[in-house]
Amino acid sequence: MPFPEGVQTVTLTGHQTLADGAGRPLPVRIRPVPTRVVGAQWGIVVGDDPVPVQPDDAGQWTVELVAVDADGFTPSGWTYRVETGDDALFVSLPASLGTVDIAELTPAGADEGEYVLVPGPPGADGESAYEVAVANGFVGTEEEWLASLVGPQGPKGDPGSGGGGAVASVNGLTGDVVLDAAAVGADPVGASAAAEAGAVSTAAADATAKVAAHVAAVDPHGDRAAAASALAGHVAAADPHGDRAAAAAALEGHADATAGVHGIADTAVLETQAGAQAKANSAQSAATTAAATDAAGKVAAHVAASDPHGDRAYADGSKLAKASNLSDLADVGTARTNLGLGGAAVLGVGTGAGTVAAGNDSRITGAAQKSANLSDLGSAVTARSNLGLGGAALLGVGTAAGTVAAGDDARLSNARTPTAHAASHASGGSDPVTPAAIGALTQATADARYTSIASYGNQWTPADHGLTSWTFDPAASSTTGTPLSTGFIYMVGIVLRQATSISKVHAVLGAAGSGLTAGQCLAGLYDAAGNRVAITADQSTAWASAGHKAMNLTASYSAAAGRYYVALLFVGTTSPTFACGSTLGAAFTPGNANLSAGSYRFCRSASGQSALPGSVTLSGFTPDANNVWAAVS
């Protein structure tokens, strides 16, 4: 079972050489030296029971173990005991080893490691002293409970003996002595007030911080349970300290005092609890009102904003907006081509040049009508000429001059066998027949156009692959292949030795592309003049996986014999890897040897292309070092 994410482990491997009577490798047993290894934060306890590891038939075994120095586990620094039979080996597996074979380890001793105290999770908050008092029978608010802790005021003390003026001896001084602040080590006038203000401010800040930390602690004194029990007894006692009467009397005298209380000269300047509460309530009310006003204003502004989050407008430039009615097309001409529209699609209805005639155009009423049986032709002579009819078309059947003989004319029954005269039409004869005279190819033309089957010997041909033509034998492709650069049209030359119908183009991808732009990953077919004669549908989905790609043209093309180009266009993030031939560097490829601009076998356009145009100027294409393999069928 895999360990939880974050647990530091080591993968230990080895080879078992011992086998049982049936020849099967014996299990390897592994256990930690300490009785128990605990990972509290992971909920993992590793006991000292041996873990059996079964090797495969070849004796190889592997196991994942907790590292001996894994964070959060105790003890730390222990060792494992590995038993391969009757023998045992102790090893240390710190996390830094990662994956290690047991043969690479230095034997260690049996070490139980060092135990480190690991704190457990914090406990739940305990009850406050007030809650404990309520649980033990107290009835009243928390303020009433606090008040109940104060006993009655004790009796007022006796006044001290009076004095003042001159004394005979004080602090070692004799004679008539008058005491001042300096004589008795007192602070000058005003120094105590300043010291008092500073002390009060410092004490208040320190108390606030300590109270906040104290309140936030789960059990600040670590004695809540004991305190709760003690408090319950304390609350139940009538006078737990035995001093409530004296305390009440002292508190009464303390309350009546107006000077010298806690070192404060005049307590009248202090804020009462009610006054402080009133000011706090006023400040809270003002802050609440201001916050509500601010929030209302911001909500109103948010609601009134046309696009408060900046995401209401749809800003994907790669999609067409319905409201634009196709005015946002990148290339209107290419769009019409992709829709298969002809030149008439952009012409208006009219009667002049550059227009098309309406269906009810008055000029069309002069057309010949079927019911007239051609009697309404403007010129029967011209019509016969246009039909290629000769003079015999006007002659009747007969035997006299100005007629034509019928098929069963008796005069034609005396058939004769022609005299053999093939020799007269042979080369050197009296009436030789040339290949051109009968529409045949000369030997030189045939040799230039076709490759004899004998010349292939035992080599594979396109036909052996079910293909019509290819750039080269795909078995000669390089081991790495080549990616295409985004936005370039790559032209790959092929030759058709005879007329044929083409319905597919082919390529082989060694690795899939990614981030391919829909509608801008295409293949097509161009003739030697740079005219596009066929195109495929979008290939962004097909090119997102590797393998042989047989790409259907949107319409079959009847190709005459001659040179053609398979065009490939990729637009996206990562190009597929296309099968290709060898190169001699970026500046030259053997496939373009002895060829010049306009007739390169392998070339590419300028960058920035997103579609295959209806025509290109091949002389402006750059020779390309990537001999991409392509084929047609």
Q: Which of 163-167, 276-280, 296-300 has the lowest mean pLDDT?
A: 163-167
Rounded CA-CA distance 295/333 in Å is 54
Q: Which of 24-28, 155-159, 358-362 has the lowest mean pLDDT?
A: 155-159
Best mean pLDDT range from 186-190, 266-270, 515-519:
515-519
In a domain, 381, yes or no: no
Percent of the chain with pLDDT over 90: 30
pLDDT at 184: 60
In a domain, 59, yes or no: yes
The predicted model gives 177-186 an average pLDDT of 62
| Residues counted in the chain | 633
Angle at 508 between CA 506 and CA 509, to 5 degrees: 135
The predicted model gives 514-532 an average pLDDT of 97
Percent of the chain with pLDDT over 70: 76
pLDDT at 343: 83
User: Please, which pLDDT band fits residue 172 given cuts at 50, 70 and 90?
Assistant: low
Question: Which stretches of 357-453 are assigned E, i.e. beta strand?
Answer: 396-397, 403-404
Strand order in the sheet with 99-101: 60-66, 9-15, 99-101
Strand duo 99-101 + 9-15: pairing? parallel
Owning domain of residue 91: 9-104
pLDDT at 613: 97
In a domain, 2, yes or no: no
pLDDT at 124: 72
Closest CA to 509 of 460, 552, 568, 465: 568
In a domain, 97, yes or no: yes
Say how many domains are in the chain.
2
**Is pLDDT at 454 greater than 60 in this prediction?**
no
Rounded CA-CA distance 428/84 in Å is 99
User: Please, which pLDDT band fits residue 449 given cuts at 50, 70 and 90?
Assistant: low
User: Please, which pLDDT band fits residue 612 given cuts at 50, 70 and 90?
Assistant: very high
Q: pLDDT tens, 305-321?
A: 877 776 665 556 678 88
Looking at 104, 128, 157, the residue that finishes a domain is 104
pLDDT at 159: 64
pTM above the 0.85 mark?
A: no
pLDDT at 408: 82
Rounded CA-CA distance 507/563 in Å is 18
28: CATH = 2.60.40.3390
In a domain, 614, yes or no: yes
Q: pLDDT tens, 373-410?
A: 888 888 888 988 888 888 888 889 898 988 988 888 87
Q: pLDDT tens, 247-285?
A: 666 667 666 666 665 556 666 556 667 777 888 788 888
Give 66-98 as a DSSP string: E-TT-TTEESBS--EEEESSS-EEEE---GGG-
Rounded CA-CA distance 364/368 in Å is 9
Looking at 54, 80, 104, the residue that finishes a domain is 104
Is the Cβ–Cβ distance between 549 and 487 less than 8 Å?
Answer: no
Is the Cβ–Cβ distance between 590 and 533 less than 8 Å?
Answer: no
User: Please, which pLDDT band fits residue 372 given cuts at 50, 70 and 90?
Assistant: confident
527: CATH = 2.60.120
**Is pLDDT at 628 greater than 90 in this prediction?**
yes
Angle at 470 between CA 464 and CA 476, to 5 degrees: 80
Looking at 86, 104, 122, the residue that finishes a domain is 104
The predicted model gives 173-181 an average pLDDT of 65
**Is pLDDT at 298 greater than 80 in this prediction?**
yes
Closest CA to 554 of 570, 567, 540, 537: 537
pLDDT at 471: 93
The predicted model gives 504-515 an average pLDDT of 96
Rounded CA-CA distance 15/22 in Å is 18
Rounded CA-CA distance 502/500 in Å is 6
pLDDT at 210: 73
Best mean pLDDT range from 33-47, 58-72, 143-157:
58-72
The predicted model gives 71-89 an average pLDDT of 86
Please tell me whether residue 123 adopts helix, strand or coil conformation: coil
453 Cβ contact partners less than 8 Å away, ≥ 6 residues apart: none
Name the average pLDDT for the chain.
82
pLDDT at 572: 97
Best mean pLDDT range from 159-173, 241-255, 289-303:
289-303
Pick left, alpha or beta for residue 217 (phi over 0 → left; psi -120 to 50 → alpha; otherwise beta). Answer: beta
Q: pLDDT tens, 550-602?
A: 999 999 999 999 999 999 999 999 999 999 987 665 556 788 888 999 999 99
Rounded CA-CA distance 468/553 in Å is 15
In a domain, 115, yes or no: no
In a domain, 195, yes or no: no
Closest CA to 378 of 386, 370, 368, 387: 368
512 vs 189, which has greater pLDDT? 512
**Is pLDDT at 416 greater than 80 in this prediction?**
no
In a domain, 48, yes or no: yes
